[in-house]
Amino acid sequence: MSLKSRKSLSQHFLRDPEVAKYLASMVSERPVIEIGCGDGYLSRYLNPDLCVELDERFLQYLVEFNPVLADARKPPYMRGEVFSSLPYSISKIFLRESSTSSVRRMILILQSDFVEKLLHEPTYISFMVNYHFILNKLFHIPPSSFLPKPKVFSTAVEFKRVREYDPAVEKALACLSIYRNKDLKRASTLCGLGEVNEPRKIRSFAPWEVCELLNLVGYGCA
């Protein structure tokens, strides 16, 4: 690849054949959508049906993979399996948008610290993601697997959809997350969710306990 990465787009290109082979082995059905294809390094292993790339300089390398010039923060698809080594700066926005789509499964490379927050910190995005998907950590990836090398470790994660998007649920989770230092009884009142006799603070709920949280405020969740 003769083109330099753009720091403004947080570009770090995968350069590890073992990681690429493993990711390709995770494909279970078509169509396969790759986000942020770059110069097509991972694409040559995945053979995606659609390549979404924001940097027009790389389209010349992606002709055989049906490239689309688009922003992953506003994905031009609603179905399929999604694979991506995401720019870390857009991870939250991308996961929120993916929650509202019909995508059933994603394999994403994310910053390791961010993955731990998704699994353990009671925030709006972690509740949203855990409501819609089951998360499965696959393996860690060192900085040496990328060019240029990022300053942090990465983790490959599988996201499998378990629930469809409900705007009322998102509204409730967004509000409850604002009051995560308050007990659920007070937070529920402030969010207009009715009376709840529950002394636990919002922050005491792990992200994977999102259904328990929603059931306590009157949203059926199984």
Helix H or strand E encompassing 201: none
146/173 same-domain check: no
Q: Are residues 19 and 85 in the same domain?
A: yes
How far does Cα 140 stand from its chain's mean position?
16
Residue 143 and residue 34 share a domain: yes
Same domain, 106 and 121: yes
The reply to whether 56 and 153 lie within a common domain is yes
What one-character-per-residue DSSP string does 54-83 give?
Answer: S-GGGGGG-GGG-EEE--TTS-S-SSSEEE
Are residues 153 and 185 both part of a single domain? no
Residues 53 and 143 in one domain: yes
pLDDT in tens, 59-68: 999 999 999 9
In sequence order, what are the residues at sequence separation of 6 or more whose Cβ sits closer than 8 angstroms to the Cβ of residue 212? 205
Residue 146's CATH number: 3.40.50.150
In this structure, is residue 222 part of a structural domain? Answer: no
The tally of domains found in the chain comes to: 2
Q: 131 and 173: one domain?
A: no
Asked, for residue 27, whether it belongs to a domain, the answer is yes
Average pLDDT over residues 200-207: 96
What share of the chain in percent tops pLDDT 90? 76
Identify the pLDDT of residue 5.
Answer: 54
